[in-house]
Amino acid sequence: MDIPAHELRPRSLQPGFSVTRQGREEVLVGRSDGQTWEVFQGGEAREMGLWRDLSHTRRVPRGGFLGWLGFTKAVVEAPDGRIDPNEVRPLWNPGVVPEKYSETPLPPEAAPKLYRLQRCSADFELQPETNRVRASVKLQGEAVGSPDRLSLDFHSFPSRINALKFNDRPVEYERSEEALQIRLPRTLRQGEEFQLQIDYEGSPHSVRHPAVPAELGWLAADGAIVTMNGVEMASSWIPSDNRPDNKAVYDFAVRVPRGYRALANGALERITEDGDRRVFHYSSRFPMASYLVSVNCFDEKRYAQSRIEIPGGPDVELTYPREMEDKVKAGFSQVPRMMKFLEDRIGAYPFETCGAVVADLPVDRQRVELTDGESRYMLDSPYGIAFEAQTRPVFTREVLQGTLSAEITILHELAHQWFGNAVTKKTEKDLWVNEAFPSYSGYLWIEQRQGPEAMEQALRELHESLKEHRFTDTAAAPERDKLFSEQNYARMALSMHALRKELGDQEFYGTLRDFFERYRYGSASVEDFIETANRRHGDRLQPFFDRWLRSTELPPYPGQSVFTG
């Protein structure tokens, strides 16, 4: 006899921390109280002893975030019998992002500015026990046009500015909620170089974006300070220019109490002593968009470090909670293979150093509604979050709960080092440049691990999930409030797969390499990619780009697969 969904009880299971993304890992649904339904991670079946029935799985759409794609598979079981999961169907729930995020207003668009940054030298003194920071940031730039004012993005930080100097002299400024407006003593000439210095202190706090179900920016946790920016949130803790195409070289001096270790983008040059503090000096030789900047510190009693050797490339330095050592090493064990996978297809790893941070950060929970036809109930599970900080991506611990899903997320962030970091979107609407290939890379990894048929099935199901969705924008120019939607990421991944089928593997990867080489360490638009492809293939791809990138209609699933590489 089938048991109604509202009467289900979980067996002796341990709750997981991550909803399945791509792949074939199942979750079990059980009620934890009168109203909330928990998602239990299948992960390693041997460890959890889960009942599995691959022929009776329902696919439940998840909320989307920064490259999260795919579906949750819900396998339902009860102590005295089983309910047919085909009796339970998902309801599209536009409220999967908690209201406290979805009601947050969009940040303002990055305003045009009459300068280009060249270098940022930042000195941070961190007090992790009290979440206080004292900083001095020096910016070197060049005037574009003839400005008599300079504007810096700097918002949400309840700080005190101790000094603001232009070419070593104090200047007047105005501060709004979003920016610093600096009055120059004279009008600058076109191409004239200048230096700004901003000294400030305070207690940074996290910030929100309506499309992202997580706290962003400066995150203070037990035993750690982690910065995980995304979507222009670095300016919540460091004065900068939010335009993604205004890239600069960065140097950091991060002062932390003894017993703590600091991390930042680039290579660790040296460690010096300053009274009761250690100073970690980092430098990046390659330009970086401000949203990719990351400064972190960790209590060495709670966090450990280890290295993964990469033949012919920089070793990968891992930082993680000590109790997660086995899980982290297992989760990142495929990184050497991933690095070769990407280098064989796109080109050599583009930076001088490589690392990853796994942190124990507060995360929120996602909810998706289900119904058995009579009553409704919820799936409820913590989010796993990752961000592609340049040379050192950041992962919350929840990401590492499933084997294949963890590998897919790690590969996604690693692929961003090529697309997103070395080659960066020119404007926020050029998100396709950053996310199309990293989002598709997860499906390429399914192909590597499970075979082409598994990848093809996953992509067909992804395409099927979009058939009832009505797009009002295009992949080449998505609307600002839909940039990070699940549907936009799915559309970007499918467009990459369609391009691969259109060209075949050799020409597909050749086109990606051409684009990467042409714009490496710079910025590019979607139209720049199209122009690069046209250089290689003539105009024969114009109908393809019109269908997949410039149309609001979802094209049919691409034709017969090409599996030649």
For residues 440 and 69, the answer to whether their CB atoms sit within 8 Å is no
Provide the token pair at 289: 């968009």
> For the chain, where do the domains classified as CATH 2.60.40.1730 start and end?
104-209+236-289
Q: Tell me how many degrees the CA angle 256-262-265 measures, rounded to the nearest 5.
A: 135
327 near 400, Cβ under 8 Å?
yes
DSSP string, 195-228: EEEEEEEE---EEEETTEEEEEEEEEETTEEEEE
Burial 119-142 (b: 16+ CB within 10 A, else e): ebbbbbbbbbeebebbbbbbbebe
- Burial of 105 per CB tally in 10 Å (0-12, 13-18, 19+): exposed
Portions of the chain given CATH number 1.10.390.10: 427-565
For 387-410, the pLDDT digits (tens) are 999 999 999 887 886 566 788 999
| pLDDT tens for each residue of 469-497 | 899 999 999 998 888 888 899 999 999 99
* Phi/psi at 221 (5° precision): -125, 175
Closest by CA position to 496, among listed 544, 452, 538: 544
At 86 the pLDDT is 41
* Helix axes 526-537 and 431-450, enclosed angle (nearest 10): 60
Q: What is the pLDDT of residue 403?
A: 62
DSSP state of 67: T
Q: Residue 371 has which token pair?
A: 């119904």
CA distances from 129 to 26, 357, 363 (A): 40, 20, 20
Other Cβ atoms less than 10 A from the Cβ of 338: the count is 20
Domain 427-565: CATH superfamily, name plus number: Neutral Protease Domain 2 (1.10.390.10)
Residues in the chain: 565
User: For residues 340 and 351, what is the distance between their CA atoms, to the nearest angstrom?
Assistant: 15
Q: Are 120 and 248 in contact (CB under 8 A)?
A: yes
Q: Calculate the alpha carbon distances from 83 to 1, 78, 140, 155, 186 in Å.
A: 8, 7, 65, 51, 76
Q: What is the CATH number of domain 104-209+236-289?
A: 2.60.40.1730
Task: Tell me the mean pLDDT per 10 residues along the chain, length 565.
Answer: 31 29 37 38 30 31 29 35 40 48 72 93 97 97 96 85 97 92 96 98 87 82 90 87 96 98 98 96 97 97 96 95 93 96 98 96 61 50 81 90 78 98 96 97 93 92 88 95 87 97 97 99 98 96 97 90 39
Say which residue the tokens 């009832």 belong to. Answer: 468
Contact between 64 and 368 under an 8 Å Cβ cutoff? The reply is no
pLDDT given for residue 419 in this prediction: 99
